[in-house]
A and B are shown apart, each in its own frame.
Chain A
Amino acid sequence: MSALEIQNIRKSYGAIETLKGIDIALQSGEFLVLLGSSGCGKSTLLNIIAGLAEATSGDIRIGDRSILGVHPKDRDIAMVFQSYALYPNLSVRRNIGFGLEMRKVPVAERDKAVQEAARLLQIEALLDRKPNQLSGGQRQRVAIGRALVRKPQVFLFDEPLSNLDAKLRLEMRTELKRLHQMLRTTVVYVTHDQIEAMTLATRIAVMKDGRIEQLGTPEEIYNRPATLYVAGFVGAPPMNILDVTVRGGALEVAGSDVAIPLPARYAAIGDGARLSLGIRPEALRLATENVAGLSLPATVEVVELTGPELITTARIGGQKLIACLAPRARISEGENHRFAFDEEALRLFDPKTGKACEVSS
């Protein structure tokens, strides 16, 4: 039995369908991140799980019961919002205990739960303040505390870190990871930030236009993207996509005379097929003279040092190739270099369907 099961959920607003059949089953303790750009339907899906919006069809089950039509308060969920959504005229203590207060939990028990949550989140000193006396990070801790004390079956997070500055976001991300490791509650977390998704998730559902493009572990999403969209969305800079043609057991890079051998796992692909070759910028390195293996020759156009890495933009037959190199790589604009990579790092996609090519085992 799954902790949370989303079955063929559809949602339409008039003629516009924003969710086109979503299926996800989560085991207890999983951390699912719904990742996608704005308008992809991820927040709508979260609101449907919370009961703040109604699905047009499909079912959602928590444990062994369907929760469609059940009031949000009776779904055994707790939610954390992007805007923190604290009650402005209540103290931090009452904000955290609000859900318990509404459920008529005795004062002593409520106080104990609030204290415990405050201790976990290190906000014990703030309990008697009002929300307007707190910083953004403190407010989000209170909002998380309010969800924690309820001890729900499922936590829902709606872009909880988006309103924080970069440094705080990093801190809170680690904090959330620590809390999840400690509490092991099932989490559904909505974000458009791929780093948050990669670091927090046990599984990521990349969404686009109301559909799931790929559901998988962060490692799968990053290393084996199922579609060109996922390949382009996850990773910064995104995966390089080069137009290639299969000819005589080799991949010819369009607009150049460069050809690399077709990996054995793609041997089933017929001659003449026009494909998209995907390779992560991080998988490229500067080739040295005496090392054999796959490499692509390219002319360097721009070199940007970010600190930890040197982002190199080069051209190969008119197509762009970005490589994330070690900061000390000796490379300058205008030079020709060979960029080496392992065969394992290479992915092929069908540009017509956008899907990854089948791999023969």
Chain B
Amino acid sequence: MSGSWMTTRAWLLMLPLLVVMISVIGWPLVDTVRLSFTDAKLVGTQGNFVGFDNYAKMLSGSNFQRTLITTTWFAVISVAAEMVLGVLAALLLNQQFRGRALLRALMILPWALPTVVNATLWRLIYNPEYGALNAALTQIGLLEAYRSWLGEPNTALTALIVADCWKNFPLVALIALAALQAVPRDITAASLVDGAGPINRFRFVILPYLAGPLMVALVLRTIEAFKVFDIIWVMTRGGPANSTRTLSILVYQEAFSFQRAGSGASLALIVTLLVTVLAVAYAALVRKVAGSTA
């Protein structure tokens, strides 16, 4: 069989996938780029070419800047908390105790639930009239009167971060737990004989084996947190007073609520660019960490 026939056959086999990818990813992307240079509305006009006007308007607007800060805050705090919680959970679940297998299986549950279900559960927990959080806090005396956790601008974002952590720390825990299995028993034993306490054992024995996999979790989670949409949309729709509006919510509002397809498209591309920069930076970091522990 000739080489060129093999190549042709390979392309033929890939053709269905290529068609699908070009039609659902390639074409929309190209069209988004075109749209971002027009003043098109969602319905009606095709729009006129306006150059970089949309980009300039979006980047200089206070909405974008405020939303970028909210998004960054959300991503940094929730990912940091997820990493810490995830590693702690993994360390606990790596100990020998009765019921460990059951607990390991249960831990996955929040992550396995659809985001919409998780978000709805947390809305119930935070409910200002009959929510479990209000009930619990008043019963133990930490709170005098019921509060609207998702209705107040100064608590809504924190409440969302808690809900997001709850959902996503199991993924970090799972990755960390897998990495912990790779820590050789002999090195742990050697560190015990050498007199390393729990903190030094974590630093010198466990962390070198955890660093690479955790870096991967960090990259994945940061990119996802930066693009967050669903959990916020279900719980607060970006409110109250736009206090929980992230970039993806802003894109949605611009393009669909205000029907400004052109500026919505430009905003979407800005977000894509930001996430790409993050991804590339992290990929470089991962390579560096992987290189130093190999």
Q: Which A residues lie at the B interface, using CB under 8 A?
A: 47, 50-52, 71-73, 77-79, 81-90, 98-99, 102-103, 132, 146
CA distance A150 to B214 in the complex (A): 34
CA distance A31 to B209 in the complex (A): 36
Q: Could you tell me if A89 and B293 are in contact, using CB atoms closer than 8 angstroms?
A: yes
CA distance A82 to B189 in the complex (A): 12
Nearest Cβ on chain B to A90's Cβ, whole angstroms: 7
B window 172-231: CB within 8 A of A: 184, 186-187, 189-197, 200, 204-205, 208-209
Nearest Cβ on chain B to A159's Cβ, whole angstroms: 11
Q: Could you tell me if B292 and A73 are in contact, using CB atoms closer than 8 angstroms?
A: no
B103 within 8 A of A: no
Nearest Cβ on chain A to B70's Cβ, whole angstroms: 37
CA distance A330 to B195 in the complex (A): 62
B102 within 8 A of A: no
B294 within 8 A of A: yes
Q: Could you tell me if B293 and A81 are in contact, using CB atoms closer than 8 angstroms?
A: no
List residues of chain B with CB within 8 A of the CB of A71: 192
Q: Could you tell me if A79 and B193 are in contact, using CB atoms closer than 8 angstroms?
A: yes
Q: Could you tell me if B294 and A132 are in contact, using CB atoms closer than 8 angstroms?
A: yes
Nearest Cβ on chain A to B188's Cβ, whole angstroms: 9
CA distance A247 to B194 in the complex (A): 62
List residues of chain A with CB within 8 A of the CB of B200: 102
Nearest Cβ on chain B to A25's Cβ, whole angstroms: 23
Q: Could you tell me if B194 and A89 are in contact, using CB atoms closer than 8 angstroms?
A: no
Q: Could you tell me if A77 and B194 are in contact, using CB atoms closer than 8 angstroms?
A: no
Nearest Cβ on chain A to B208's Cβ, whole angstroms: 4
The residue from A51, A83, A84, A146 contacting B194, defined by CB atoms under 8 A apart: A146
List residues of chain B with CB within 8 A of the CB of A73: 192-196
Nearest Cβ on chain B to A103's Cβ, whole angstroms: 6
Nearest Cβ on chain A to B95's Cβ, whole angstroms: 16
B window 73-132: CB within 8 A of A: none
Q: Could you tell me if A77 and B292 are in contact, using CB atoms closer than 8 angstroms?
A: no
List residues of chain B with CB within 8 A of the CB of A90: 204
List residues of chain A with CB within 8 A of the CB of B205: 87
Nearest Cβ on chain A to B241's Cβ, whole angstroms: 48
List residues of chain B with CB within 8 A of the CB of A79: 189-190, 193
9 contacts between A and B (CB under 8 A): A72-B189, A72-B193, A73-B192, A73-B196, A86-B187, A87-B187, A87-B205, A88-B209, A98-B194
Nearest Cβ on chain A to B195's Cβ, whole angstroms: 3
Q: Could you tell me if B189 and A102 are in contact, using CB atoms closer than 8 angstroms?
A: no
Q: Could you tell me if B195 and A85 are in contact, using CB atoms closer than 8 angstroms?
A: no
Nearest 9 Cβ contacts at the A-B interface: A73-B195, A85-B186, A85-B190, A99-B194, A102-B195, A81-B186, A89-B208, A72-B192, A83-B186
Q: Could you tell me if A50 and B292 are in contact, using CB atoms closer than 8 angstroms?
A: no
Interface centre among B184, B189, B193, B197 (most CB of A within 10 A): B193
Residue of A nearest to B192 (CB): A72
Knowing A82-B186, A83-B184, A132-B294, the reply to whether A89 touches B204 (Cβ < 8 A) is: yes
CA distance A81 to B293 in the complex (A): 21
B window 220-252: CB within 8 A of A: none
CA distance A83 to B189 in the complex (A): 11
Q: Could you tell me if B195 and A103 are in contact, using CB atoms closer than 8 angstroms?
A: yes
List residues of chain B with CB within 8 A of the CB of A77: 193
CA distance A145 to B143 in the complex (A): 60
Residue of B nearest to A103 (CB): B195
CA distance A5 to B141 in the complex (A): 59
CA distance A88 to B209 in the complex (A): 9
CA distance A19 to B189 in the complex (A): 21
CA distance A94 to B100 in the complex (A): 36
CA distance A26 to B209 in the complex (A): 39
List residues of chain A with CB within 8 A of the CB of B294: 132
Q: Could you tell me if A88 and B190 are in contact, using CB atoms closer than 8 angstroms?
A: no
CA distance A176 to B146 in the complex (A): 73
Q: Could you tell me if B292 and A102 are in contact, using CB atoms closer than 8 angstroms?
A: no
List residues of chain A with CB within 8 A of the CB of B194: 73, 98-99, 102, 146
List residues of chain A with CB within 8 A of the CB of B191: 87, 98
B window 140-193: CB within 8 A of A: 184, 186-187, 189-193
List residues of chain B with CB within 8 A of the CB of A82: 186
CA distance A104 to B190 in the complex (A): 17
CA distance A84 to B184 in the complex (A): 11
The residue from B195, B196, B293 contacting A88, defined by CB atoms under 8 A apart: B293
Q: Mark B264-294, 1 if CB is under 8 A from A, else 0.
A: 0000000000000000000000000000111
The residue from B184, B197, B209, B292 contacting A85, defined by CB atoms under 8 A apart: B184
CA distance A86 to B204 in the complex (A): 10
Residue of A nearest to B189 (CB): A52
List residues of chain A with CB within 8 A of the CB of B184: 83, 85
Nearest Cβ on chain B to A141's Cβ, whole angstroms: 15
List residues of chain B with CB within 8 A of the CB of A102: 194-197, 200
Residue of B nearest to A53 (CB): B189
CA distance A72 to B197 in the complex (A): 11
CA distance A82 to B186 in the complex (A): 8
Residue of B nearest to A82 (CB): B186
Nearest Cβ on chain A to B15's Cβ, whole angstroms: 45
Q: Could you tell me if B190 and A81 are in contact, using CB atoms closer than 8 angstroms?
A: yes
Nearest Cβ on chain B to A254's Cβ, whole angstroms: 49
CA distance A238 to B2 in the complex (A): 62
Q: Could you tell me if A52 and B208 are in contact, using CB atoms closer than 8 angstroms?
A: no
Nearest Cβ on chain A to B212's Cβ, whole angstroms: 11
List residues of chain B with CB within 8 A of the CB of A83: 184, 186
Q: Could you tell me if B192 and A52 are in contact, using CB atoms closer than 8 angstroms?
A: yes
CA distance A57 to B141 in the complex (A): 51
CA distance A318 to B186 in the complex (A): 48
